[in-house]
Amino acid sequence: MRSATADGPGRVQRVSGSVLAAGTVFVGTGFTVVKTGTGAYSVYCSGFRAITGGSATPRAGGQVAAANVAGAGNILGIATTTSSTGAAADGGFDFTAEGIAL
């Protein structure tokens, strides 16, 4: 899913979607996902110049421990962990990213 609060470059825009544990997009457009390690995902928001915020929630059976800006530009980093031990583990998640449009 993709929505913009205003049209044109430099405006605030939101992208949201669902990602499976393997790092594949389940629902949504305007982004791609790379699984970078166990429980580690980079969400690339193609229409963004810079991400200004983001959040994530677990899909099932896991716990999203963190949702943070990873580096610069249009990348949102997501880390997933197990509910019981807090160890890194692959897990699906729903996310929303907000940023400045290209």
For residue range 6-42, list pLDDT tens digits in order: 566 789 999 999 999 999 999 999 999 999 999 999 9
- Cβ neighbours of residue 85 closer than 8 Å, sequence gap 6 or more: none
Give the span between the Cα atoms of 1 and 7, in whole angstroms: 16
- Sorted by where each begins, the domain ranges of the chain are 2-101
Picking from 66, 70, 71, 59, the residue whose alpha carbon sits closest to that of residue 27 is 59
User: Considering the entire predicted model, what is its pTM?
Assistant: 0.85
Tell me the DSSP string of 55-76. EEEE-SSSEEEEEEE-SSSSEE
2 pLDDT exceeds 60? no
Q: What is the pLDDT of residue 4?
A: 47
